[in-house]
Amino acid sequence: MTPISTNFLQTLGNSFIWFSPAFILFWCSWMFVKSKTARTSPSPPGPRGIPLLGSIPFLDPDLHTYFADMARTYGPIFKLRLGLKVGIVITSPDLAREVLKDHDITFANRDVPATGRAATYGGSDIVWTPYGAEWRMLRKVCVIKMLSNTTLDSVYTLRRREVRETTRYIYSRAGSEINIGEQMFLTVWNVITSMLWGGTVEGKEREEVSGEFREVVSEMTGLLGQPNVSDFFSGLGRFDLQGLEKRMYGCAKQFDGIFEMLINQRLRIEREGGSKADDKDFLQFLLRLKDDGDAKPPLSTTHIKALLMDMIVGGTETSSNTVEFAMAEIINKPEILRKAQQELDTVVGRENTVEESHIHNLPYLLAIMKETLRLHPTLPLLVPHSPSQTCTVGGYTIPTGSRVFVNVWAIQRDPSIWENPLEFKPERFLNEKWDFSGKDFNYFPFGSGRRICAGIAMAERMVLYSLATLLHSFDWKLPDEQQSADLTEKFGIVMKLKTPLALIPTPRLSVDPLYQQ
């Protein structure tokens, strides 16, 4: 060993001896702070899983019930290691309040799944865009122009026309089995597309179009709710090992072709001197807003397509599934069907047809909708949130970038909150001031906070008007071979019935011409 190295080690040793008390003091202080932090803000409890994969191999396809079962073991907040991703599951009103109200801004972002990006042009829509100026612009455009009460009032004739068309179709099939979900999907589809660009489907095309597009939308929402290895291991995303992105791109392409055609058609009319004033639908408004540059940040063609996709995928299946669940619950409870029809006969009368103006005088019908959404919330885990920074919830550390699931399905079935929680009992909503505002975290089927569903007003009108018309215009029964409707749920980002509901209608209005209006 050279003298230089000897002197170096000696100097190092002397320095260590000199600073060792300070070093030891620093070390003890750091360990004390670390242990105190660990005691006050540990990670949530949860299963250990297996190396690398964590809990991925054990995930059940019905995540809402799987998470509810795990909460019984690990408590109202628990952690799952999902590959390289951390999943946090919330299953209590108090913790939901912390996430969606107390730390609303922190949790206002999304952990965008690969299928979500594939469906919405890279996540350029309201659902997946990060919280910020761009998201505020998109939400403002939709809520003010498309989904405000003023706009919805102005297009009541569209809803009335489509609901009446559905009534005429069902009347023509009296005595035969009717697929309730399929007919409701087409009704909502026609209303939304009429609002978006003036489209509608009538006559013989009803069943064909309904089946085709409902299948596409159903596959899209199913793909959005399916665990994807690309989301859990970012390095594997490019390989799309499960083929989910490829399937989603295939679904989205079918709608993209429609969007491209409509946009090009409108631009061609404009180039040829057509008047914008004649077109008052949502698409024309968006194109005008894009051209004028009034939106801040600016609105792009990609934004327009993504918003159209949101309206179609987010607005059709959600409302039609809620009506289908309501009809399935009602058909299993004849006394509820009788009460609803008695209320309708009193308010509307059998010599008239239902109008939306009647809805405000039908409290039992509203209670049926609320009870349906309690037992079968449209999005059982909401759309997962993702904190923009590490924070504390329920005394536990929630790391930045984790995927946070709020199990509203489990909260709204909690026996410590709800009496006989599995019983379908609309009466529980007659004397309570429950609403859809998201302020009460015992009942928030549309979510809460900044990311609460933008289409609540639209959904409420479509579900109540459709349900009132079905119950007022027809008596319903199950096919002879069925004793009761199967209420088994099929999980997806949007909840649906596992077995489609088929019912047989019988006209109940006083005169047949009422069905032809």
- pLDDT at position 145: 81
Q: What is the mean pLDDT of residues 285-308?
A: 91
Q: What is the pLDDT at residue 111?
A: 93
Q: What is the pLDDT of residues 467-476, one digit of tens each?
A: 999 999 999 9
Contact criterion met (CB below 8 Å) for 354 and 472: yes
pLDDT surpasses 90 at 516: no
pLDDT-derived band at 213 (thresholds 50, 70, 90) equals confident
Question: Whole-number mean pLDDT of the chain?
Answer: 89
Residue 95, pLDDT > 90, answer: yes
Integer Cα distance of 62 and 78 in angstroms: 18
- Rg, the chain, Cα only: 27
Give the pair of three-digit tokens for residue 113: 């799944």
CA distance 307 to 282: 10
Query: Residue 248 and residue 492: Cα distance in Å, rounded?
Result: 14
| Structure token pair of residue 93 | 């009103």
Q: What angle do CA 499, 219, 119 make, to 5 degrees?
A: 155
Percent of the chain at pLDDT > 90 equals 75
Q: Which residues contact 471 (CB under 8 A, 6 or more apart)?
A: 330, 337, 340, 341, 344, 365
Whether 355 has a pLDDT exceeding 60, the answer reads: yes
pLDDT tier for residue 200 given thresholds of 50, 70 and 90: low
* Arithmetic mean of pLDDT, 369-377: 98
Average pLDDT over residues 203-217: 71
Instruction: Tell me the pLDDT tens digit for each residue of 103-116.
Output: 999 999 999 999 99
CATH of domain 56-516: 1.10.630.10
Least confident interval from 28-32, 78-82, 216-220: 28-32
Q: What is the pLDDT of residue 40?
A: 61
Section 162-170 average pLDDT:
94
Residue type, 422: L
Grade residue 269 by pLDDT with cuts at 50, 70 and 90: confident
> In the predicted model, is pLDDT for residue 126 greater than 80?
yes
pLDDT of 458 > 80? The answer is yes
| Burial track 449-483 (b if 16+ CB lie within 10 A, e otherwise) | bebebbbbbbbbbbbbbbbbbbbbbbebebeeeee
pLDDT at residue 2 greater than cutoff 80: no
Nearest to 462 by CA among 125, 185, 177: 185
Distance (Å) of CA 148 to CA 155, 165, 291, 370: 11, 25, 23, 21
Q: Whole-angstrom Cα distance, residue 18 to residue 321?
A: 74
Cβ 130 vs Cβ 110: under 8 Å = yes
SS3 track for 85-147: EEEEEECCHHHHHHHHHHCCCCCCECCCCHHHHHHCCCCCCCCCCCCCHHHHHHHHHHHHHHC
Q: Is the peptide bond before 297 cis (omega within 30 degrees of 0)?
A: yes
Residue with tokens 């609105």: 299
Nearest alpha-carbon partner for 418 in 437, 443, 394, 435: 443
**Residue 261 Cα to chain centre, angstroms:** 28
Would the pLDDT of 368 be above 60?
yes
- Count, in order, helices (H) and strands (E) of the chain: 17, 10
Is 159 in contact with 356 (CB distance < 8 Å)? yes
Q: Where are the domains of the chain?
A: 56-516
Q: What pLDDT does residue 281 have? A: 85
Position 26 scores a pLDDT of 39
Note the Cα 51 to chain centre separation in Å.
32
Residue 202's pLDDT band (cuts 50, 70, 90) = low
The predicted-structure confidence for 12-61, as pLDDT tens digits, reads as follows: 234 333 334 443 443 344 344 444 444 468 999 999 999 999 999 999 99
Tell me the C-alpha distance between 310 and 131, whole Å.
17
Residues 6+ apart with CB under 8 A from 440: 434
User: Using alpha carbons only, what angle is made at residue 456 by residues 443 and 498, rounded to the nearest 5 degrees?
Assistant: 70
Copy the structure tokens of residue 149: 């009460």
* Amino acid in the structure at residue 19: F
